[in-house]
């Protein structure tokens, strides 16, 4: 038995949002990258997301009716482990920083990466 329209309409897709500059017309731009061309905008963040919900419904309904494949989101699982190659001088500098802070090299790197992307631990 195939998947019905409601199945696809209830899938949760990643949404990308961008605040538009005044030169771009202001407001917000919203899109679902996995559904090519599925995008919208709005004067407020809430309006852009609401409009995107309508665009998603129309995109999925049209694709379903035309028998086109509808991409499904996948939940990637991450182990939390990563092997990184770096210059010896950077390795030395990071190791010295960790020693000076009395933390492990791993803790220092996690802290610095988190700080760099604005993620709070």
Radius of gyration from C-alpha coordinates of the chain: 22
Label residue 120 by pLDDT band (50, 70, 90): low
For residues 8 and 64, is the Cβ–Cβ distance under 8 A?
Answer: yes
**Tokens matching residue 5:** 């329209």
Quickly tell me which residue has 């791993």 as its tokens: 106
What pLDDT, in 10s, does the model give residues 26-47? 999 999 999 999 999 999 999 9
Q: For residue 28, with 0-12 CB atoms within 10 Å meaning exposed, 13-18 middle and 19 or more buried, which class applies?
A: buried
**Tokens matching residue 69:** 């494949």
Label residue 1 by pLDDT band (50, 70, 90): low
Q: What is the pLDDT of residue 77?
A: 77
Overall pTM > 0.75? no
């Amino acid at each position: 038995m195939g998947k019905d329209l409601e199945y696809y309409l209830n899938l949760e897709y990643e949404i990308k949002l961008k605040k538009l500059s005044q030169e771009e017309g202001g407001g917000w731009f919203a899109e679902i990258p996995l559904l090519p061309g599925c995008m919208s905008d709005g004067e407020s963040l809430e309006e852009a997301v609401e409009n995107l919900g309508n665009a998603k419904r129309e995109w999925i309904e049209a694709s379903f009716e035309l028998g086109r494949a509808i991409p499904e989101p996948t939940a990637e699982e991450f182990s939390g482990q990563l092997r990184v190659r770096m210059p010896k001088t950077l390795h030395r500098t990071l190791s010295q920083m960790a020693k000076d802070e009395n933390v492990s090299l791993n803790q220092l790197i996690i802290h610095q990466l988190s700080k760099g992307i604005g993620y709070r631990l």
